[in-house]
Amino acid sequence: MRAFLFPGQGSQAVGMGRALAEASPVAREVFQEVDEAIGQNLLKLMTDGPAEALMLTENAQPAIMANSIATLRVLEREGGIRISEKAQFVAGHSLGEYTALCAADAISLSLTARLLKIRGRAMQNAVPVGVGGMAALLGATLEQAQAIADAAADGEICAVANDNAAGQVVLSGHLGAIERAVAMAKDMGAKRGMMLAVSAPFHCALMQPAADVMLHALKAARIDTPLVALFANVLAAPITVPDEIRARLVDQVTDVVRWRETMLAMHAAGVDTFVEFGAKVLAPMVKRTVADAEAISVVTMDDIEALAKAM
């Protein structure tokens, strides 16, 4: 069995999408539709920068989605591949969940782009710059990370945000609490704690204003039953009902991205091949969590051609 995966924020880089757009009219169609949907020349920003503008959450989120969908669409249209025939599940890391739903025809490409523009802006605006922070705890179990978060909170918010892979857990919350967590991480069993260069404290209670914005935006959004089931970030379980998808997309703004558990649950459901589209971020996480699974990253035209032949 096979699952298609879609990366989240942090996988953006100046130059992304250029080679695909130059090589494939299918990719160019995707980028043009996204540009028109959000009223912005996003492809130019993706290919030429500046990096500071691409890093902005409201730009990074639709850009990462567009790059992943362009990669998938080239595979589908030029390789004659249908997701409903070649994948049993889809999943995406944080914003990648929207990409996964677009890939599975639950949300149109133009609507996905608009929703991610709204989501990115809302998440950026939810917390003033300098108030929040995030840190990676390397070599820590989920239980150790939770203990560190609890000890560091001291009346502030300090929570597990991403359970990414074995030995990689991310905390989010008030900056002071996150700095305390990094300082005490090694003494409490982690290999080390490392502050992350992020613009806001994602996936914690401080994001509630953004969750409120997405509740309103998603209420008006057309969501259809996906062609294949989505493994939801906050459940680590498959869902297909549009109203539940809406609810879980709101929940994931403030809740934990249970990525490690999702990979284990997919594997337990029979998935032995994980295919990541648009970046090389999630496949290494899969290998750290499910060592006997095949994990492939599809980024270049050569990658696409190789996967089409393998399928």
Residues designated catalytic? 94, 203
Token reading at 144: 């150790």
Interior/surface letters 129-148, b for 16+ CB within 10 angstroms, e for the rest = eeebbbbbbebbebebbbbb
Tell how strand 89-92 and strand 2-6 pair up.
Answer: parallel
**Whole-angstrom distance, CA of residue 282 vs CA of residue 6:** 8
Per-residue DSSP letters for 20-72?
HHHH-HHHHHHHHHHHHHHTS-HHHHHHH--HHHHHSHHHHHHHHHHHHHHHH
**Whole-angstrom distance, CA of residue 204 vs CA of residue 160:** 8
The answer to whether residues 161 and 134 touch, using CB atoms and an 8 Å cutoff, is: yes
Token reading at 278: 């648009």
* Other C-beta atoms lying within 10 Å of the C-beta of residue 216: 12
Long-range contact pairs involving 81-88 (C-beta distance under 8 Å, separation at least 24) = 81/308, 81/311, 83/4, 83/227, 83/228, 84/227, 84/228, 86/2, 86/311, 87/2, 87/3, 87/4, 87/228, 87/275, 88/1, 88/2, 88/3, 88/228, 88/229, 88/269, 88/270, 88/271
**Whole-angstrom distance, CA of residue 58 vs CA of residue 85:** 33
Taking CA atoms, 179 is separated from 43, 136, 148, 158, 184, in Å, by 36, 11, 11, 10, 9
